[in-house]
C-alpha cells in the first residue's frame, strides 16, 4: 500500500465533503405537490408506517410489500429525524450515496495502490448520474449499492491480509513439502465483515443473493491464488480443505442470519403483514411442523413474494413506457423518467414554457465506455491474470447477468444501480494504465496525465450538462429536448 496514508485520508475527506454538497443540494425537491414521486410513493409511505408501528408494515392496502424491510427502516430513520417531507424520506439515501463515494475512493486506492487514482475514482463517482439521482430519491437500490460495495471492500482487505499471513508463514518455515495444503489462516475478520455486509444487502433486496454467490467464488479464487503464490504444492486442494468451510460459514451462514435479523420487528409483532400466515391458513401440520410458526410464516410470505416477482411481466397490449431490458443497461440506452412538470407548474426558467423533470440516466462519458471497459477487463483477467480486473469484472457481472434468466419480467434501469461503482472502478484501472508508471519517463507520464485529465474534465462537463434533469431544475423546453441525446431516451 502507498505510504501517504494521512494524505490519502485528507483527500478522501475532501471528496466526501464535495459529494455531500452535491448530493444534498435542494434535496427536498422535486415532489408531487408535497407528496413522494415515482416509486417513492411506496417506500416513503411504508417507511412512515414502519416508524409509527415500531419497524414493520401491517397495512394490507399496500399492494407492493415485496422487499425485505431494511432499506425502508433506514428511510424511516430520516423521516424520524426530519419529518414526513422530501428531506425526511430522502436523507437516508443521500447519506448512503455520500458513503458510496468514500468507499469508492478507498477501494480504488487499495486496488491501484495509488492515492491519485483513488481521487480519480472519487471524482468519477461524484459525477455519475446514476449514483447521483439514486442518492436523491427514496428508493431501495442505493442501499443495496452501499452494502454490496462495502462487502467488496472487505473482501479486498481480506485478500491482502491472507497474503500477509501466508508470507509470514513462509518466513517462519510453516510451508514445506510435508504439508502440501498449506497452513490454516485463523479467523478472518474482514471476510466475516463481508458476510455481514452481504446479509444487509440481502436485507435490502433479494438481488443481494447474486453477490453472495459471486463474491463467494471470488473469495475462493483469491485464496487459491494466494496459496499458489506462497508456494503451496496443492493450492486448490489446500483451499478446499482449509478455506472453503470457513468461507461458507462467513459468506453464506452469516448473511442468512443477518438477513433474518433484519426482520426483527416483523418477528416481534403480532399484526405485521402475513405475520400469522401459518395459523390463518392452517399450515400447522407436515414434516416441518417442528419449525417455529413465525419462521414458517416468513417462509410462506417469502414464497408469495417470490411468486409476485416471477409473474411481474408487462402485458404486451399495455407496455410500461419506461421499461428496459438488461442488454440496454451497460450503456444506459433506456433511462427512466421519475418526474415531469411543465408550463405553469414549473416556472422560473425565463422561457414561455418551462420544464422540471428528473430523468435517471448514467453520465454518458462513463456509461458509454462500459462495454469497452468490460472487454478490456476480461482480456486482462484471462490473458494477463490481473486480479484487479478480475475482481471488478466479477462485481460488475454479478449485477447484470442474472437478470438475463427471466427476460419476460418487468425491469427498469434503476435495477442497474449496482453496476455503477464497478464501472467507475474499472475505468479507474484503465486510467491507471493510461497514466503509466512514473519510472517510464517524464514524456510518457506527462502524456498519460494529460489524457486522464482531459477525460476527467469531459466527465465533469457531461455531469454539469445533465445537472438540471438529474435535480429537477427548471429549464426551457428547448433545453429539455437538447438533454435527450438518443431517441431511446424519449
Report which secondary-structure segment, H or E, holds 404.
none
C-alpha–C-alpha distance, residues 426 and 436, integer Å: 16
Helix axes 442-471, 419-435, angle to 10 degrees: 160
Contacts of 68 (CB under 8 A, 6+ apart): 202, 203, 204, 205, 206, 259, 262, 263
> From the first residue on, what is the mean pLDDT of each consecutive set of 10 residues in the chain (490 residues)?
84 98 95 90 92 80 76 96 96 98 98 96 98 97 98 98 92 75 92 98 96 97 95 91 94 97 90 79 66 81 80 72 93 95 71 90 98 98 96 98 90 96 98 86 86 98 97 92 92
- Taking only the tens place, the pLDDT of each residue in 36-64 is 999 999 999 999 999 988 888 876 655 55
**pLDDT at 290 (0 to 100):** 66
The answer to whether 75 and 92 are in contact (CB under 8 A) is: yes
* Strands ordered across the beta sheet of 354-360: 336-342, 354-360, 474-476
The answer to whether 219 and 251 are in contact (CB under 8 A) is: yes
Residue 278's alpha-carbon distances to 18, 275, 346, 392, in angstroms, are 50, 8, 51, 43
**pLDDT at 63 (0 to 100):** 55
| Terminal C-alpha separation, the chain | 46
**pLDDT at 344 (0 to 100):** 64
C-alpha–C-alpha distance, residues 229 and 409, integer Å: 44
- Taking only the tens place, the pLDDT of each residue in 283-334 is 666 666 667 788 888 888 888 888 787 777 777 766 778 899 999 999 999 9
**pLDDT at 307 (0 to 100):** 79
Q: In 25-140, which ranges are continuous DSSP H helix?
A: 40-53, 70-82, 86-112, 115-126, 129-134
User: Which three three-digit cell numbers place residue 484?
Assistant: 435527450
- Find where cell 495509488 sits: 114
Residue 32 is given by DSSP the state B
**pLDDT at 392 (0 to 100):** 98
* Max Cα–Cα distance, the chain, nearest Å: 84
Task: Kindly report the average pLDDT of the chain as a whole number.
Answer: 91
**pLDDT at 61 (0 to 100):** 59
- Find where cell 416513503 sits: 44
C-alpha–C-alpha distance, residues 2 and 110, integer Å: 9
Amino acid at each position: 500500500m502507498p505510504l501517504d496514508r494521512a494524505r490519502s485520508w485528507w483527500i478522501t475527506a475532501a471528496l466526501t465533503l464535495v459529494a455531500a454538497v452535491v448530493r444534498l443540494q435542494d434535496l427536498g425537491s422535486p415532489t408531487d405537490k408535497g407528496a413522494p414521486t415515482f416509486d417513492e410513493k411506496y417506500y416513503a409511505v411504508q417507511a412512515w408506517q414502519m416508524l409509527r408501528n415500531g419497524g414493520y408494515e401491517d397495512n394490507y392496502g399496500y399492494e407492493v410489500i415485496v422487499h425485505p424491510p431494511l432499506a425502508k427502516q433506514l428511510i424511516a430513520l430520516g423521516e424520524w429525524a426530519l419529518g414526513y417531507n422530501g428531506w425526511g424520506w430522502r436523507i437516508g439515501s443521500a447519506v448512503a450515496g455520500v458513503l458510496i463515494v468514500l468507499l469508492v475512493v478507498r477501494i480504488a486506492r487499495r486496488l491501484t495502490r495509488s492515492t491519485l487514482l483513488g481521487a480519480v475514482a472519487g471524482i468519477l463517482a461524484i459525477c455519475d448520474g446514476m449514483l447521483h439521482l439514486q442518492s436523491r430519491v427514496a428508493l431501495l437500490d442505493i442501499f443495496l449499492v452501499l452494502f454490496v460495495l462495502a462487502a467488496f471492500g472487505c473482501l479486498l482487505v481480506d485478500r491482502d491480509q491472507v497474503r500477509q499471513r501466508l508470507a509470514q508463514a513462509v518466513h517462519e518455515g510453516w510451508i514445506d513439502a510435508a504439508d502440501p495444503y498449506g497452513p490454516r489462516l485463523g479467523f478472518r475478520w474482514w471476510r466475516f465483515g463481508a458476510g455481514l455486509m452481504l446479509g444487509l444487502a440481502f436485507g435490502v433486496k433479494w438481488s443481494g443473493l447474486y453477490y453472495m454467490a459471486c463474491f463467494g467464488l471470488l473469495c475462493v479464487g483469491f485464496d487459491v491464488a494466494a496459496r499458489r503464490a506462497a508456494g503451496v504444492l496443492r493450492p486448490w486442494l489446500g483451499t478446499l480443505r482449509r478455506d472453503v468451510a470457513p468461507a461458507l460459514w462467513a459468506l453464506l451462514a452469516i448473511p442468512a442470519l443477518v438477513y433474518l435479523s433484519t426482520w426483527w420487528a416483523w418477528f416481534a409483532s403480532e399484526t405485521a403483514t402475513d405475520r400469522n400466515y401459518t395459523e390463518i391458513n392452517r399450515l400447522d401440520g407436515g414434516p416441518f411442523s417442528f419449525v417455529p410458526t413465525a419462521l414458517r410464516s416468513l417462509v410462506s410470505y417469502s414464497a408469495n413474494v417470490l411468486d409476485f416477482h416471477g409473474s411481474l411481466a408487462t402485458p404486451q397490449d399495455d407496455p410500461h413506457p419506461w421499461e428496459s431490458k438488461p442488454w440496454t443497461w451497460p450503456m444506459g440506452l433506456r433511462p427512466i423518467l421519475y418526474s415531469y412538470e411543465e408550463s405553469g407548474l414549473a416556472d422560473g426558467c425565463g422561457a414561455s414554457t418551462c420544464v422540471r423533470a428528473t430523468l435517471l440516466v448514467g453520465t454518458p462519458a462513463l456509461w458509454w465506455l462500459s462495454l469497452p471497459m468490460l472487454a478490456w477487463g476480461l482480456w486482462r483477467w484471462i490473458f494477463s491474470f490481473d486480479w484487479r480486473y478480475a475482481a471488478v469484472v466479477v462485481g460488475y457481472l454479478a449485477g447484470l447477468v442474472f437478470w438475463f434468466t427471466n427476460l419476460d419480467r418487468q425491469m427498469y434501469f434503476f435495477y442497474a444501480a449496482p453496476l455503477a461503482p464497478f464501472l467507475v472502478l474499472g475505468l479507474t484501472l484503465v486510467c491507471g494504465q493510461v497514466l503509466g508508471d512514473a519510472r517510464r519517463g517524464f514524456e510518457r507520464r506527462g502524456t498519460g496525465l494529460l489524457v486522464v485529465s482531459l477525460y476527467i474534465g469531459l466527465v465533469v462537463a457531461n455531469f454539469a450538462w445533465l445537472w438540471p434533469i438529474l435535480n429537477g431544475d427548471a429549464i426551457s423546453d428547448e433545453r429539455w429536448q437538447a438533454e435527450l441525446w438518443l431517441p431511446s431516451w424519449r
